Chains A and B, each alone.
Chain A
Amino acid sequence: MQLTSRSKVVSNKTMTFKERIYLPAIFSGMMITLSHLFKKKVTIQYPEQTRPVSQIYRGQHTLKRDEIGAERCTACGLCAIACPAEAIIMVAAERKKGEEHLYREEKYAAVYEINMLRCIFCGDCEEACPKEAIFLTDRKVDSDYQRKSFIYGKDILVEGIEPDKRVDVSKRETAAVAEFKTHKEYDHNKVLKRNNK
């Protein structure tokens, strides 16, 4: 009786004399490996050479500031909920008078931490963010000997105020992406609903 369509007929034929003396097969195998001696090497010599990555590569995150330098994030927590790896935690705080140049919204993230060891660089946080605050960039997360240094706080994540310290995310923050995010019927925007079920 055939239970699945995956069964295979196993051949158990006796080997011919040529196969039984092994040597022809061994020599042809050795020729194959010999030919690899002259093939192009695939190695990338890392510190000197780096593997080229796409411009919309998903690497280390950045928290964007707006034009005047105020943080865009409003600590809504959508990114943390969207995150499948539960890598993001934050503590929200209320903006005081006179802090308008620091925080764009009335509520801001006093603490914002991403655990880079948990993060799988899926980019869901970026998709979920309604304020265009968090972006993944083509920078790589540095390696380290200690685990605790992989919890990136605002000091690392928030981009600098000075124009030369800004992180360029123009390739990711496009009009098409903004348009895409407005469509709530798209599947990625239903993440919240799924999680809340």
Chain B
Amino acid sequence: MTSEYLIYKSLLVVLVFVITLVVAMYSTYAERKIAAFLQDRIGPNRAGPFGLLQPLADGVKMFMKEEVIPGTSNKALFILGPAISILFSFLTGAVIPWGSAVNIMGSEYSLQIADVNIGILYLFGVVSMGVYGIMIGGWASNNKYSLLGAIRASSQMISYEVAMGLSIIALVMTTGTLSLNEIAAQQQGWHWNILIQPLGFLIFVICAFAETNRAPFDLPECETELVGGYHTEYSSMKLGFYLFAEYINMFISSAVIATFYFGGYNMPLIARFVHDSNALAILGVVFLFAKIFFFIFCFMWVRWTLPRFRYDQLMNLGWKTLIPLSLLNIVITGAVMMRHEIFQLFVK
């Protein structure tokens, strides 16, 4: 482990951190713009050209707001909640392969912070930790709406995690690896996993919506029933952290969807025109981000189209539809993979 390697990795960590922040920041802006456009409005356009400074203005507003910690709340946990939420959102970015390796002066530098061979497991572990942020925050607020929101959030996330995990198992069966880097590398050219696993993709996307608490699964912060949901009692930057964590989660989910099912940093046909591997790597990053932005747009598009589910509908969908479907998906995937053996069994 040379010192250059360490410097490079720390630079990459900082870079990914900053990019995540910026993307999440501008997602708030994009959300408001897209919401406006879908509703025939214009959206924020006063702060800076096209309202581009709006996220900064929002940030300043969040920082300047009075910080209220309810007297009856559990102070330590109350502060811990949003901290956990945002910490684990950031951690997920570590295993995403942002591009293939670049070659600088004879040494290879991977554009992935940590190529752990159990990347998928890591991802799931960290994502499920995110529930604690919400749960602890809602519990520590000592408010019935917060608590209800937190309970909803955790039960929703736990039930959709099951279906999500099962849909990924089918993917792992076909790709034969748990490393995100390898999954991305396997999808060169037209070998995108969506073509192999369309059902798995559908289940995964639905679960991703539920995991990020986005509409139509935004029951934890269902305003009509729960005031603000788990962050009812939060104010100032603590609230900001919760909201920010949601946008980071959305960004990471989009990155994960792109990596799992849409070829990650690969783009068909591009290798024919560009032969330099470094240029290809940079282009790969561009393609990955294009895909990510498309999925972020989809997240918002869905949010401003669909109404919220009722809670029992949500649970029915999760347990009675998605889980059996993903099990079926596993069975079908297995059957297709073993088709020669099965065929021979019948021939005999």
Binding site for B on A (CB under 8 A): 23, 26, 29-30, 32-34, 36-37, 39-43, 45
Q: Can you offer 14 A-B residue contacts whose CB atoms are under 8 A?
A: A23-B202, A26-B306, A30-B301, A34-B301, A36-B37, A37-B34, A37-B37, A37-B38, A39-B40, A41-B37, A42-B41, A43-B40, A43-B42, A45-B42
Name the one of A29, A37, A39 contacting B306, with C-beta atoms under 8 angstroms. Answer: A29
| Residue B304 CB within 8 A of the other chain | yes
Q: Which residues does chain B contribute within 8 Å of A30, judged by CB atoms? A: 301-302, 305
Q: Is B39 within 8 A of A36, CB to CB?
A: yes
Binding site for A on B (CB under 8 A): 34, 37-42, 45, 202, 301-302, 304-306
Q: How far is the CA of A41 from the CA of B33 in the complex (A)?
A: 12
Q: Which residues does chain B contribute within 8 Å of A39, judged by CB atoms? A: 40
Number of A-B contacts (CB under 8 A): 36
Using A26-B306, A29-B306 as known contacts, say yes or no to A41 and B301 having CB atoms under 8 A apart.
Answer: no
Name the one of B40, B304, B306 contacting A41, with C-beta atoms under 8 angstroms. Answer: B40
Interface of A, helix, strand, loop or mixed by DSSP:
helix
**Residue in chain A with minimal CB distance to B307:** A29
Q: Is A33 within 8 A of B42, CB to CB?
A: no
Nearest-Cβ distance from residue B308 to partner chain A, whole angstroms: 14
Name the one of A23, A26, A34, A41 contacting B41, with C-beta atoms under 8 angstroms. Answer: A41
Nearest-Cβ distance from residue A27 to partner chain B, whole angstroms: 10
Q: How far is the CA of A23 from the CA of B216 in the complex (A)?
A: 13
Name the one of B39, B40, B305 contacting A29, with C-beta atoms under 8 angstroms. Answer: B305
Q: Which residues does chain A contribute within 8 Å of B42, judged by CB atoms? A: 41, 43, 45
Task: Rank and list the top 8 A-B pairs by shortest CB-CB distance, nearest first.
Answer: A33-B305, A43-B42, A33-B38, A37-B37, A30-B305, A29-B305, A36-B38, A41-B42
Q: How far is the CA of A41 from the CA of B34 in the complex (A)?
A: 12
Nearest-Cβ distance from residue B96 to partner chain A, whole angstroms: 27
Q: Which residues does chain B contribute within 8 Å of A34, judged by CB atoms? A: 38, 301
Q: Is A42 within 8 A of B301, CB to CB?
A: no
Q: Is A40 within 8 A of B40, CB to CB?
A: yes
Q: Is A33 within 8 A of B301, CB to CB?
A: yes
**Residue in chain B with minimal CB distance to A39:** B40
Nearest-Cβ distance from residue A38 to partner chain B, whole angstroms: 9
Q: How far is the CA of A10 from the CA of B38 in the complex (A)?
A: 32
